[in-house]
């Protein structure tokens, strides 16, 4: 099987699958069981300073979004950082690291935004022999209202300042965890690099309300008749996370900055997609909270088999897709496809017809005996039919040959290179 040994900012682990800072990494018992199951590393649940005690709610902490089959698509949590004493956590981290020297163990940190607080907690964790620190600049609830978490992560100047403090007062590699609750993810990543960060991790949870109880008229989860916003995670956030990882990977001012990918990783394929877009490893939370620690077995075997089939090393996968991520105006408008329906695979459900007829371009015909065919002269290649079809591979998008005439537009598919030269582009017309 392919070698999955990982070295992320000098932190070695037997595979690139880490557990994210969250309830699964809150104590020695959990982390030990995770390592026994095969996880390559963990980021210990966020530690705070010895200030006022952290008090979590005593009622429900999670809201949820499910698919039609009750499959969990997303979790919203209102849980805070660890509510266990700092020294208890430090003692457990020290024991775990000494028992599992081949595994990565990174400590997530969140303290008030002043240099002495950061200097003090970095001094406190030094003796644990942990491999690195992750600065939690992402938590959108509870701690943000106290001037920490995403309250720092939304201000690039604060990110740069705190990161510089950490690099000044610590020997450990420093990973900055970014909040997605911001307009342009590149700005905080650039700030982290200016501050001396060794890497960034993203995304943290998305600020959200997942549901409203229509009897009590309160957001869920509901605590004594009231609710609040929380952090959203799980498979539903993966597209947002992939885009933000790619934006950092292809940005000139952050290119080459190591990235730990987080957000909806459930299978080996999810992990491979993050790595192809520039992540050096991935962190997992919701999938473990849904299915347990042993899902890492599928991740390890699946990624190993994929790399073997491709004849690739793990390092070959990282960033492989980044050169193919571009802006819309650089897409090739010569490339034209048409939908094709495999009649042998079609189950005659009519979803493609309903979707195209009612909401798209009326490009699918239905015969009296429910045979569905594509009208090339009306098909704009939106591929909505592919996405609504319940039979995988039944409808495919077939490229037209270069130089062929598109029956819908009457033009040859090689007329325009991209949007920058297309006559419908106002800037192109102005240039003429």
Among 22, 75, 66, 76, residue whose Cα is nearest residue 227: 76
Handedness of CA 306, 309, 315, 319 (dihedral sign): negative
Distance (Å, rounded) from C-alpha 283 to C-alpha 16? 8
Distance (Å, rounded) from C-alpha 245 to C-alpha 231? 19
- The catalytically annotated residue of 113, 139, 285, 394 is 139
Distance (Å, rounded) from C-alpha 124 to C-alpha 49? 10
Distances in whole angstroms, Cα of residue 57 to Cα of each of 50, 298, 307: 20, 35, 45
The encoded tokens of residue 255 equal 């290119």
CA angle 390, 73, 276 (to 5 degrees): 80
3-state secondary structure of 128: helix
The encoded tokens of residue 320 equal 């492989």
Catalytic residue at 346?
no
Query: In degrees rounded to 5, what are phi and psi of residue 39?
Result: -65, 140
Catalytic positions are 139
């Amino acid at each position: 099987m392919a070698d999955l040994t990982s070295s992320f900012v000098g932190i070695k682990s037997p595979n690139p699958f880490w557990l994210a800072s969250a309830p699964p990494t809150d104590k020695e018992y959990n982390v030990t069981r995770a390592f026994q199951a095969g996880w390559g590393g963990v980021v210990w649940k966020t530690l705070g300073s010895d200030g006022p005690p952290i008090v979590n709610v005593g009622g429900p902490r999670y809201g949820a979004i499910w698919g039609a089959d009750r499959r969990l698509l997303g979790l919203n949590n209102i849980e805070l950082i660890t509510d266990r004493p700092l020294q208890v956590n430090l003692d457990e981290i020290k024991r775990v690291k000494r028992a599992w020297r081949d595994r990565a163990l990174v400590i997530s940190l969140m303290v008030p935004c002043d240099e002495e607080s950061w200097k003090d907690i970095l001094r406190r964790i030094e003796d644990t022999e942990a491999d690195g620190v992750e600065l939690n600049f992402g938590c959108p609830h509870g701690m943000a209202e106290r001037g920490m978490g995403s309250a720092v992560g939304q201000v690039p100047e604060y990110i740069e300042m705190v990161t510089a403090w950490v690099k000044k007062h610590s020997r450990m590699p420093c990973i900055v965890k970014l909040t997605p609750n911001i307009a342009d993810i590149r700005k905080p990543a650039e700030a982290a690099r200016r501050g001396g960060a060794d890497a960034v991790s993203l995304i943290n949870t998305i600020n959200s309300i997942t549901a409203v109880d229509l009897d009590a008229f309160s957001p869920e989860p509901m605590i004594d008749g009231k609710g609040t916003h929380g952090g959203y995670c799980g498979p539903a956030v993966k597209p947002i996370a992939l885009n933000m990882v790619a934006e950092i990977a292809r940005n000139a001012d952050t290119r080459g900055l190591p990235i730990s990918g987080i957000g909806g990783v459930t299978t080996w394929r999810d992990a491979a997609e993050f790595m192809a877009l520039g992540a050096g490893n991935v962190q997992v939370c919701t999938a473990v909270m849904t299915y347990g620690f042993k899902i890492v077995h599928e991740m390890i075997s699946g990624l190993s088999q994929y790399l073997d089939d491709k004849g690739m090393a793990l390092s070959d996968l990282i960033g492989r897709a980044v050169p193919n991520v571009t802006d819309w105006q650089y897409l090739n408008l010569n490339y034209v496809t048409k939908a094709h329906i495999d009649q042998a695979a079609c189950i005659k459900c009519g979803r493609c017809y309903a979707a195209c007829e009612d909401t798209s371009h009326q490009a699918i015909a239905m015969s009296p005996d429910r045979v569905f065919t594509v009208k090339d002269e009306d098909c704009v290649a939106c591929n909505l039919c592919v996405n609504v079809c319940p039979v995988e591979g039944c409808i495919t998008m077939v490229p037209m040959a270069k130089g062929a005439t598109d029956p819908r537009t009457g033009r040859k598919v090689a007329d325009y290179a991209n949007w920058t030269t297309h006559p419908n582009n106002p800037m192109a017309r102005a240039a003429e």
